[in-house]
Amino acid sequence: MGYLWDRDRFMRHIGTLPNENAARRFTAFLLTQDIIASSEQDAEEWIIWVHDENNVAHGREELASFRQDPNGEIYLQAETAAEQIVRKRLETEKQNQKNVRDLRSQWSRQPGSQKRPLTLSVVVLTVLVFFFSNGGSPRRRLTRSPSSASEGPSFSLNDTLRFCSIADYGRTGDPLVSIKKGQIWRLITPILLHPGGIWHLVFNMLWLWQLGGIIESRRSKLTLAWVLLLTAVLSNLAQAIMPLDLPAPLRPFSGNPIFGGMSGVVYGLLGYLWVTGRLDPGSGIFLHPNTVMLMIGWACLCLTGLLGPVANTAHFAGLFVGMAVANFTLNPRRQT
C-alpha cells in the first residue's frame, strides 16, 4: 500500500522564526505536545513545518504563544522532555530494524532466491532504504538530539528519493518542479520509501517477492525490469499530478507528490500476471482467482479511508498499466 502525507500527514508550513535556537526550542516543545514538526532554514528565517494537517491550527496557536515569550520556562524545559521522547522512539525503531533484518535473512535463505536475483535485489535495496531513511517518513530521523535533528542525513535521503523536494513543492505548488530541474530519478525512487512503517514495508515486500518472482522465473529478468520500471514511472506520475482537491465521490483519488511505497508496482505486477495467465494459458503463469480478489478487495478497502491516507491513484494506475502491458505484448492482433 502506498502512503500519502497530504490531508493527514503532508507537511504544512505554519510560520517562521528568526533563528535556529528558537526553531529548535519550538519544535522540541511541539514534540512534547505530540505534534511532529521540523524546521528548515530559508534565507535569514527558519520555516516551521507541521507533519500532520490535523495539527496545523494547534501548531499555529502554539507558535503565536511562543513568539510572545520564547524564553518562557515551559519552552526551556521542552528540550529535555523531547530528549526523553527521542530515546523511547529510538528504542522502538531499533526493534523494528531488527525485525526487518530477520525477515531479510529468512528471504535470502529461500531456495528460490537464486532464480530471482532481480527480485531479491529490489527487496534488499528497499529494506536498506527503509533502514537509512526511517521508512521514508517525512519527519527527520531521530538519531540524535532535537538540537541536531534538523540536519539528519536520512531526511536528505528522503527528500532526494521523493517525487519532488518538499521545500520546492511548498514554494511552487508544482508537483513536477524537481523533475523539471532534471532530477528524473524521482519518477522511480518513491517506490523505495515506506512511510507507513514496518508493516507497510513487509506487506509490499512479500507481494513483490511472490509476484515479481513469478515474472522473473517464468519470463526473464528483462521482462520483470521493464514491467517494474514502467509501472513505477506511470503510477508515480499519476499519483503526483492528480488534482489535490477532487469532488467528494473522487476524493480517495486525490493526488499528492509527497508519497511513498512499492504498491503501485505490486499492483502493476498483479495486473500483468492476471492478464498474461488469461491470454496465454500455456505460459505457465497462473494466479488463483482468490489472490486476485484479495488484492482488488484490499485496494477497494483503501478507498474507504479506514486505513488512513493511501495513494489510491498509484494502486489503480499501476494495476491498469500492468494489464495494458500484458495485453499489448500478448494480444494476437498486436503480433500480426
- Output the CA–CA distances (angstroms, integers) from residue 230 to 23, 95, 179, 257, in the order listed: 42, 35, 17, 18
Instruction: At 239, list the grid cell.
Output: 499519483
Burial class (CB in 10 A: 0-12, 13-18, 19+), 219: middle
pLDDT higher than threshold 50 for residue 78: yes
**pLDDT tens digit string along 184-197?**
999 999 999 988 88
Residue type at position 49: W
Q: How far is CA 16 from the centre of its chain?
A: 27
- What's the confidence (pLDDT) of residue 145? 37
Helix (H) or strand (E) holding 136: none
Q: How do 3-4 and 259-260 pair as beta strands?
A: antiparallel
Contacts of 83 (CB under 8 A, 6+ apart): 145, 146
Type of residue found at 189: T
Task: Tell me how far apart the alpha carbons of residues 83 and 226 are, in angstroms, rounded to a whole number.
Answer: 46
Three-state SS for 144?
A: coil
pLDDT, position 90: 77
What lies within 8 Å, CB to CB, of 34 at 6+ separation is none
- Cβ burial of 103 (10 Å; 0-12, 13-18, 19+) is middle
Q: How confident is the model at residue 8 (pLDDT cuts 50, 70, 90)?
A: very low
Catalytic residue ranges: 263, 315
The sign of the CA dihedral 269, 255, 93, 151 is: positive
pLDDT in tens, 211-236: 999 999 888 999 999 999 999 999 99
DSSP string, 22-33: HHHHHHHHHHHT
Count other Cβ atoms within 10 Å, centred on residue 213: 21
Contact in structure between 318 and 208 (CB atoms under 8 Å): no
Burial of 108 (0-12, 13-18, 19+ CB in 10 A): exposed
The residues spanned by each domain of the chain are: 3-84, 85-335
Over 60: is that where the pLDDT of 4 sits?
no
CATH topology of domain 3-84: Alpha-Beta Plaits (3.30.70)
3-state secondary structure of 125: helix
pLDDT at site 9: 44
Place of cell 521514508: 136
Band (128; pLDDT cuts 50, 70, 90) = very high
Q: Report the pLDDT value the prediction gives residue 1, as an integer from 0 to 100.
A: 54
pLDDT for residue 5? 45
Tell me the three cell numbers of residue 97.
Answer: 530494524
Task: For the chain, give the mean pLDDT.
Answer: 82
First to last CA, the chain: 38
Residues whose CB falls within 8 Å of the CB of residue 102, separated by 6 or more in sequence, listed in order: none
CATH of domain 85-335: 1.20.1540.10
Identify whether the C-beta of residue 37 lies closer than 8 Å to the C-beta of residue 48.
yes
